[in-house]
Amino acid sequence: MADKDPFEALEITATLDVAQVKRAYFALLQRHPPHIDPEGFRRIRAAYEALMAPGARGLAYATAPIGAAEELARWHGRWDAPMQQALSHFNEASARATAIESFVAGASRMTLSGAAAMFGAPGLAGQGDGGDG
């Protein structure tokens, strides 16, 4: 076979799906019928037979060149929005955690009279900070 990659000859990405291989073959058969384009027919027929032989499709799939750009585009299409959403949730949670830490740190340093003054309990504001008041 002249083409090293039978998937490329059938104009499909590498796959183990028999139905996809057959669909590609029959679609190309319409464009390259044997009585009009014998060389094109031989090329796609050789690719089809190479992929339909027992065990050959798996070997061709394993040795097919990786379409890195297509795979990356598919990955971005699948994961960019969820990753952005997760990052947004993380940033919001981080901001809330920082606010809580700041509140707890401030409250831990607060005296009883300072808390009474802050939270509007004027009867407690004048009491001592000994903890018995």
What domain range includes position 76? 69-107
Q: Are residues 13 and 58 in the same domain?
A: yes
Does a structural domain hold residue 119?
Answer: no
The reported pTM is 0.49
Instruction: Look up residue 122 and give its DSSP letter.
Output: T
Cα-Cα-Cα-Cα dihedral sign, residues 33, 34, 36, 37: positive
- 7-22 pLDDT per residue, tens: 899 999 888 889 999 9
Q: Are residues 29 and 58 in the same domain?
A: yes
Q: Are residues 28 and 61 in the same domain?
A: yes
CA atoms within 13 A on the CB side of 133: 13
Does a structural domain hold residue 98?
Answer: yes
* Helix, strand, or coil (residue 5): coil
Q: How far apart are the first and last CA of the chain?
A: 95
Q: Looking at the 3D structure of the chain, how many domains does it have?
A: 2
Indicate the helix (H) or strand (E) that contains 38.
Answer: helix 38-52
Q: Are residues 59 and 86 in the same domain?
A: no
Q: Are residues 55 and 97 in the same domain?
A: no
- 99-120 pLDDT per residue, tens: 999 989 988 888 888 888 888 7
The residue from 46, 65, 84 where one domain ends is: 65
Give the span between the Cα atoms of 102 and 25, in whole angstroms: 66
| Single-letter amino acid code for the residue at 70 | E
